[in-house]
Amino acid sequence: MQMELTIENESRAETNTEGDPKITTKAFRDAQREQTSILAPLERAALYGFARRMPAWVNSDHLSILGLIGMIGAGACYALSKRNPLMLHLVNVFIFLNWFGDSLDGTLARYRDRQRPRYGFYVDHIIDTYGILFLLLGMALSGYMSQRVAGVLLISYFMLAINSYLAAYSVGIFKISQWKLGPTELRLLLMIGNVFLFYRPRVYHHRYLLFDVGGVIASFGMSLMLVVLSIQHTHTLYKLERLPRR
């Protein structure tokens, strides 16, 4: 199916008298958000319920910071769980805080009609970039995931994220979820995994780390998604921008 571009960003860079870049924008249209994950309807209802009850002094920036704190805390607790496995339960608390802040900041902005599309998009995803780095670093230090698997998982995540950002700019559609799985479903799977990890850190006759097995599966899945989406987006853009015959 041929998609139409939905981004019209005619920004141009200028230079002021001090030599600093200055951006002037004539028109900007935000990319279309696409959320088709399994829990999306339930999550959307819950988030709007939270947004209606949120105190007036709390704004989206506060929630974004809370989301980052949640990921830093989860990574730190993973690292501390090497000596005290009970810290895995605290990891789940921080993952919930990350979901609350990261998912609610945009919903609150839309509910209050206080949207800043470019600022919100950049801040939200640069926080995600730092957050996943802290999380996987903590996993690697915990001893529950080998450093190689953590490194491969981090690269796979970043490559899939880069593809999403490029598609948001060039195709005009930002997919929050892929193949019915979104950030919320991944957080929930991670929290369930932490519970199993507490009681059984190794699988298959205690030969393999549970999170190594999960990390390899996740890396393979994200790599497969990346290949499929790369082909789809390339085909879509090729049809949109066919060169005229001379």
Tokens of 241: 């921008």
Architecture of the domain whose range is 12-240: Up-down Bundle (1.20)
Q: How far is CA 55 from CA 98, 107, 111, 124, 163, in A?
A: 19, 14, 13, 21, 36
Which of the pair, 113 or 31, is modelled with greater confidence?
A: 113
78 and 142 Cβ atoms separated by less than 8 Å: yes
Tens digits of per-residue pLDDT, 175-195? 777 777 788 889 999 999 999
What mean pLDDT, rounded, does the chain reach?
A: 84
Task: Give the position of tokens 């105190």.
Answer: 55
175 SS3 class: strand
Tens digits of per-residue pLDDT, 218-246? 999 999 999 999 999 899 898 888 888 87
Which ranges of the chain would DSSP assign to H, the alpha helix? 40-53, 60-80, 87-111, 117-142, 147-170, 183-199, 210-240
Choose the weakest-confidence range: 17-26, 68-77, 189-198. Answer: 17-26
What's the predicted TM-score (pTM) here? Answer: 0.82
Tens digits of per-residue pLDDT, 100-124? 999 999 899 999 999 888 898 899 9
